[in-house]
Amino acid sequence: MKLLVTGGAGFIGSAVVRRAVRDGHQVVNLDALTYAACLDNVAEVADEPNYTFIEADIRDRAALNRALAEYAPDVIMHLAAESHVDRSIDGPGAFIETNVTGTYTLLEAARAYWEGQGRSDNFRFHHISTDEVYGSLGSTGQFTEETPYDPRSPYSASKAASDHLVRAWCATYGLPVVLTNCSNNYGPYHFPEKLIPVTILNALEGKPLPIYGDGSNVRDWLYVEDHAEALLLVVQKGQIGRSYNIGGENECTNLQLVQMLCGILDRLRPRATPYGDLITFVADRPGHDARYAIDPTRIRQELGWRPSVSVEEGLERTVQWYLDNESWWRALQNRDGVGKRLGMKA
Ligand SMILES: NC(=O)c1ccc[n+]([C@@H]2O[C@H](COP(=O)([O-])OP(=O)(O)OC[C@H]3O[C@@H](n4cnc5c(N)ncnc54)[C@H](O)[C@@H]3O)[C@@H](O)[C@H]2O)c1
């Protein structure tokens, strides 16, 4: 299969690229290389003959037209996005531009390309989205694909808008789309502004481990390589027009998560006092969603997928990866905003 992957120099996109190249697919990685990108994430496949990189912005219609004409992909997997909720609170404009206008521009380029190719039934536009579009849960219940959208941050609102555009392009123009809405990912190459890498890297430097609010917010954590596998399955086997929720079946509070990381670090890189002593409660994020939980029944029953890595195992692998790859994260610590508390504007 020939894949055009947008956002393939980011965290999840690079996992998709590495996996797809190793599986023998032809992969074109199109990425604008924003602050969140790192080409080292795909270094292990960069010299493979079935891998190509194009530096381009998804808002640049001419660049998209050129890429589609030159590489003639069978499918587009769309992961390019502004992805950090805290940054969306400080600067929502970039989120509207990339996540909404960018997705619109890509949809129009994809539609023109697909129509030009005779509206092939085999073409797929796979839109990768988040469970955050569903809003916040109480202590019970799970998000299904029928849960009404109720986004509560500029990030999740921009992703919800893009999901609606994708469905509209399917209903109105017949563009063969599939969508996925996934829970929180973690694993190697996670950009050092998100909770898990921040916790590991602060711990290694003996700095406070910040927990927003009282740490009771619940997330469902999925190991990124499991997500990449699920995405490659959906793009090949998913039903046109259908959404699939993807989750890790690993719910825990932010406090439990950080405590687990501290326990792993105590074993792998012991220090005089337990890492847990560094835990520090800080002011909450405005509008912080209380709980996300995914009902993965559809993807399990229709496509036979379920996560393979438990949160305990995945966190251990992740901590070990950060211990082994200091040069990767050191280079990113100078990027704009990294290491600062963001998202306190409200
Ligand atoms: N991280 C998660 O836990 C999670 C969970 C569910 C869904 N998602 C979704 O998965 C996708 C990937 O998330 P991620 O965590 O890998 O994000 P990321 O921020 O790590 O990577 C995003 C990539 O998109 C690129 N990009 C940004 N704007 C662009 C533009 N205008 N044109 C071209 N490229 C652009 C960046 O350079 C970067 O390489 C996003 O759509 C996100 O909404 C993420």
pLDDT of residue 342: 86
In which band, very low, low, confident or very high, does the pLDDT at 338 lie, cut at 50, 70 and 90?
confident
Active site residues: 131-132, 155
CB 182 near ligand 1, within 6 Å: yes
In which band, very low, low, confident or very high, does the pLDDT at 289 lie, cut at 50, 70 and 90?
confident
Comparison of pLDDT for 339 and 108, the residue scoring more:
108
Is the model's pLDDT at 345 over the cut of 70?
no
Comparison of pLDDT for 239 and 341, the residue scoring more:
239
Q: Quickly list H helices, 23-175.
A: 61-71, 85-90, 92-95, 103-116, 154-173
Ligand 1, residue 132: give the atom nearest the CA. Answer: 6
In which band, very low, low, confident or very high, does the pLDDT at 340 lie, cut at 50, 70 and 90?
confident
Mean pLDDT of 237-265: 97
pLDDT of residue 37: 97
Is the model's pLDDT at 222 over the cut of 90?
yes
Which of 187-196, 205-214, 219-228, 279-288 bottoms out in mean pLDDT, i.e. has the lowest?
279-288
Beta strands in the chain (DSSP E): 2-6, 26-31, 51-55, 75-78, 124-130, 177-182, 185-186, 209-212, 218-220, 222-223, 243-246, 251-253, 279-282
Mean pLDDT of 110-123: 97
Alpha-carbon separation of residue 279 from 200, 214, 262 (angstroms): 12, 11, 9
CB 250 near ligand 1, within 6 Å: no
Three-state DSSP state, 125: strand
pLDDT of residue 160: 98
Residue 74: count other Cβ atoms within 10 Å of its Cβ: 17
Is the model's pLDDT at 334 over the cut of 70?
yes
pLDDT of residue 346: 55
Is the model's pLDDT at 262 over the cut of 90?
yes
- Tens-digit pLDDT profile for residues 131-183: 999 999 999 999 999 999 999 999 999 999 999 999 999 999 999 999 999 99
CB 158 near ligand 1, within 6 Å: no
Q: What is the mean pLDDT of the chain?
A: 96
pLDDT of residue 336: 82
Mean pLDDT of 217-225: 96
- Tens-digit pLDDT profile for residues 196-217: 999 999 999 999 999 999 999 9
How much of the chain, in percent, has pLDDT values that exceed 70?
99
- Tens-digit pLDDT profile for residues 310-330: 999 999 999 999 999 999 999
CB 4 near ligand 1, within 6 Å: no
In which band, very low, low, confident or very high, does the pLDDT at 343 lie, cut at 50, 70 and 90?
confident
pLDDT of residue 283: 87
Distance in angstroms (rounded) separating the CA atoms of residues 266 and 249: 26
Three-state DSSP state, 325: coil
CB 185 near ligand 1, within 6 Å: yes
Ligand 1, residue 194: give the atom nearest the CA. Answer: 1
- Please give the distance, rounded to the nearest whole angstrom, from the Cα atom of residue 79 to the centre of ligand 1: 5
Phi-psi region of 221 (alpha: psi -120 to 50; beta: other; left: phi over 0): beta
pLDDT of residue 141: 94
Ligand 1, residue 222: give the atom nearest the CA. Answer: 3
Is the model's pLDDT at 339 over the cut of 90?
no
Is the model's pLDDT at 47 over the cut of 80?
yes
